[in-house]
Amino acid sequence: MKKIRVNASKAYDILMGEGLLEGAGEAVKNACSCQKAFVVSDTNVFPLYGEKLRASLEKAGLEVFEYVFEAGESSKNVSVYSEIVEKMCLAGLTRGDVAVALGGGVVGDVTGFAAATYRRGIPFVQIPTTLLADVDSSVGGKTAIDLANGKNQLGAFWQPSLVICDLLTLDTLPTEEYQNGCAEIIKYGMYGDSNLFEKIAAGPVSSDYENVIARCVEMKRDVVEKDEFEQGPRMVLNLGHTFGHAIEKLSGYSIPHGEAVATGMNIIATAAVKLGYAKTGTDEKLREVLKKYDLPLETEFGAAEMAEAAAGDKKTLGGMITLVVPTGIGVCDLVKVPVSDLLKFALAGGLR
């Protein structure tokens, strides 16, 4: 088992290994010294792993409550959030208890936001079950739900008390979810680690889950420890996300996050080469790896609508937006531009 410590405003461990669900109850109890555990999961994950988690929590002496919602991004909304906090209240959860997110990024984000806001904040534990959640969403304390007008518009920074990555849960992951996770892993290589990028390019991520996930988590840990509340350096984690979020929004969230980020990275890397920020060939190398993992390079949406949707991103400030622009493989710059420049980047990124 690997253990990675995150020293954010709240310090916590990320445990990583095969079969960790069995001992999850003890680990939760040790991290939170709680009496009640409120488990949130979705309709795909709960039937696979809910029973095992419940048994482990009960064995550790915890009283267990469960809430399961329909799987998918469309559940990351105000009504699911509101049901969770109402049920927490009915269960009599206090600040001495714990919310446990069992699932992918959707479960983690909505549970984390409920934990951040219920009684002004209760402890929560992330048990990620997708590759994307292992490498990204379960770490770093960003929690949120979507509003009709945009993604992650209602949220809070709220660090978990513990993260438990049981790598065996990846055995049941559908292929497209594996690919979505790979998109975020490629992002790590692209913004900050050319060795990781080469490793992903050479072999399937699935041949060495533990080391690849651990490397991504360490990179995220380093960034979060430097800039937990995203005032500057943390923005590198948003590589591909400005246009990625625009694709998600324009598709009515039918295009998953990982796929959208893959296309978003291709757009910004293409623009970076065209506008002279990145070395020639940087975009081509990225495209080769994205293709290897069957990730989409193109979008049906046009430059103008993409620029308009991206301008609504929550990262705009005073008419300016910070773009994460690759300058080569494993290096990037944060470039602050007027929101009106988004169209220029979209066009240079190959959109019509």
Instruction: Please state the φ and ψ torsions of residue 150, each to the nearest 5 degrees.
Output: 170, 165
With respect to ligand GLY, which residue has the nearer C-beta, 56 or 126?
A: 126
Strands 150-157 and 124-128: unpaired
What is the distance between the alpha carbons of residues 176 and 293, in angstroms, rounded to a whole number? 10
**What does 234 interact with, of ligand NAD, ligand GLY, none (CB < 5 to 8 A by kind)?**
ligand GLY
**DSSP state, 292?**
H
As measured in angstroms, the least distance from the Cβ of 28 to ligand GLY is: 23
Helix or strand (DSSP H, E) at 214: helix 209-226
Candidate residues 126, 130, 179, 266; the one interacting with ligand NAD per rule CB under 6 A: 130
Catalytic residue among 245, 248, 266, 285: 245
As measured in angstroms, the least distance from the Cβ of 142 to ligand GLY is: 5
Candidates 153, 123, 129; CA nearest to 141 is 123
As measured in angstroms, the least distance from the Cβ of 318 to ligand NAD is: 24
Between residue 213 and residue 252, which ones bind ligand GLY under the rule CB under 6 A? 234, 237-238
With respect to ligand NAD, which residue has the nearer C-beta, 137 or 282?
A: 137
Catalytic residue among 36, 76, 215, 241: 241
Structure tokens at 295: 């990730």
Helices 241-250, 257-274: crossing angle, 10 deg rounding? 130
What is the distance between the alpha carbons of residues 340 and 24, in angstroms, rounded to a whole number? 49
**What does 106 interact with, of ligand NAD, ligand GLY, none (CB < 5 to 8 A by kind)?**
ligand NAD
Site string for ligand NAD, 49-88 (x = CB under 6 A): ----------------------xxx--x------------
Between residue 130 and residue 169, which ones bind ligand GLY under the rule CB under 6 A? 136, 140, 142
Contacts of 132 (CB under 8 A, 6+ apart): 104, 105, 177, 180, 181, 183, 184, 257, 258
257 binds ligand NAD (CB under 6 A): yes
Structure tokens at 206: 């699935």
114 close to 99: Cβ distance less than 8 angstroms: yes
Size of the site for ligand NAD (CB under 6 A): 31
- Alpha-carbon Rg for the chain in angstroms: 20
23 binds ligand NAD (CB under 6 A): no
**What does 132 interact with, of ligand GLY, ligand NAD, none (CB < 5 to 8 A by kind)?**
ligand NAD
Task: Write the CA distances from 263 to 10, 103, 182, 229, 346, integer angstroms.
Answer: 34, 25, 13, 26, 12
**Sheet strands (E) in the chain:** 2-7, 11-17, 36-42, 63-69, 98-103, 124-128, 142-147, 150-157, 162-166, 320-328, 331-338
Known catalytic membership, residue 120 = yes
Known catalytic membership, residue 30 = no
As measured in angstroms, the least distance from the Cβ of 187 to ligand GLY is: 9
Known catalytic membership, residue 142 = yes
With respect to ligand NAD, which residue has the nearer C-beta, 44 or 161?
A: 44
What is the distance between the alpha carbons of residues 288 and 243, in angstroms, rounded to a whole number? 20
Known catalytic membership, residue 70 = no
Catalytic residue among 238, 248, 249, 285: 238
**DSSP state, 134?**
I
With respect to ligand NAD, which residue has the nearer C-beta, 113 or 301?
A: 113
What is the distance between the alpha carbons of residues 27 and 163, in angstroms, rounded to a whole number? 10
With respect to ligand NAD, which residue has the nearer C-beta, 215 or 285?
A: 215
Residues lying near ligand GLY in the complex (CB under 6 A) are found at 136, 140, 142, 234, 237-238
Task: Give the catalytic positions in this structure.
Answer: 120, 142, 184, 220, 230, 234, 238, 241, 245, 257
Q: Which residues bind ligand NAD (CB under 6 A)?
A: 42, 44-45, 48, 71-73, 76, 103-107, 109, 129-130, 132-133, 136-137, 140, 142, 152, 169, 172-174, 177, 180, 257-258
